[in-house]
Amino acid sequence: MRRKLSRFLVSLVLIALVVIMLYPMYWTVINSLKTNSQLFNDSWSFPKVRNWRNYQMAWNYGVKNYIINSFLVTLGTLLVVISVGALGAYGFSRFEFKGKSVLFLLVLGGLMLSPEVSLIPLFGFIQNLGLYDSHLGLVIIYTAFRLPFTIFLLVSYFVSIPHDIEESAYIDGCNSFQVFLKVMLPLSRPIIAGTTIFQSLWVWNEFLFALVFLESDVLKTIPVGLMTFQSKLATNWTGLLASLVIASLPIVTIFLLMRKQFIRGITLGAVKG
C-alpha cells in the first residue's frame, strides 16, 4: 500500500507539472487562432472559427526572414561547436600531453565567464575583425561561449567508453582519427543528440548578443526580430501570438526528432556520471 500510494502521489505531481508547463503553450496556440475581439472577450475558450490569417500575416510581416536567419546562425554554431567540441573532448579523454590539466581547467573556466561582463571587449574585437552586423560574427561569439559546456559534457561521456573497443580498432589498422570517426562518434550519438538540443535551444533563444551585434533588420534573428515585430503589430495581439507559435516550432521539431537519443543520453549520463 505504501508503494502504491507513493507511486500515485509521484504520478499526481508529475501530471500537475505537465499541465502547468503545457497549458501556457495551449493558451498561446488557441488564442493565435482568434481575432482581437475574441481574445479580449473570452481568452480561455477554444475558437469556434479558426482565423489562420494570423499566421499568414505574421509570416509575411517578416517572421520568415527572422526564422531563416536564426536557422543559419544556429546551424553554423552547431556545426562548429559539435565538431570542435567532440575533437577536443576526444583529445582530453584519450591522450596525455604536457599541460593537459591546465588547459582543461582553462576550458572549464569558460563556463564561469559572464556574457554581460565580456560584452564591451567583444564589441571592440568583432568591430576590429570587420564582422559587426554579420552572422559570422555572431557564430564566433556563440561558439566561444558554448564550446566549454560541450567539451565538459562530451569528456565525461568519452571517459565512460571502454578502451578495449578502441584497441580493437587500432588492431584492425585504424589511426586515431579513424577511431574517432568510426568508433567514438557512433557510440556517442545519445550525448551528441542531447548536446545538440541544449545548444540549439540556447542559440535560438539568445537575445543579448543578437541585439548588440546585429543592426540590419534583414539579419536579425528571431528573438530580436519578434521585439521589432511587436512594434509592427502593436494592436494585433493574436498576430503576435501566431508569430510566437511559428518561432517555437523549429525547436519543438528538433526535440521530437531527437527525443529518443536525447532521453537515452541523459539517462546514460546520469547512470555513468
In a domain, residue 50? The reply is: no
Handedness of CA 122, 123, 129, 135 (dihedral sign): positive
Give exposure, 177-216, as e/b (b: 16+ Cβ within 10 Å): eebbeebbeebbebbbbbbbbebbeebbebeebbebbbee
In a domain, residue 174? The reply is: yes
CA 15 to chain centre: 25
Return the pLDDT at 231: 66
In a domain, residue 30? The reply is: no
Q: Tell me, what DSSP letter sits at residue 99?
A: T
In a domain, residue 217? The reply is: yes
Return the pLDDT at 268: 57
Range of the domain at 84: 63-272
Return the pLDDT at 272: 46
In a domain, residue 45? The reply is: no
Backbone Cα Rg of the chain = 23
Return the pLDDT at 265: 60
pTM of the model: 0.84
In a domain, residue 29? The reply is: no
Give the span between the Cα atoms of 238 and 236, in whole angstroms.
Answer: 6
Query: Amino acid letter at 192?
Result: I
In a domain, residue 39? The reply is: no
Return the pLDDT at 270: 44
208: domain CATH number?
1.10.3720.10
In a domain, residue 54? The reply is: no
For 42, the enclosing helix (H) or strand (E) is: none
Give how many domains the chain has, as a whole number.
1
Find where cell 500537475 sits. 16
Return the pLDDT at 141: 94
Return the pLDDT at 46: 83
Tell me the pLDDT of the chain (273 aa) as tens digits.
Answer: 778 888 889 899 999 998 998 888 889 999 988 888 888 888 888 887 888 888 888 888 778 899 999 999 999 999 999 999 999 999 998 888 888 889 998 888 888 888 888 888 999 999 999 999 999 999 999 999 999 999 998 998 888 888 888 888 888 888 888 889 888 888 888 888 888 888 998 999 999 999 999 988 889 999 888 887 766 656 678 888 888 898 888 888 887 887 776 666 656 544 444
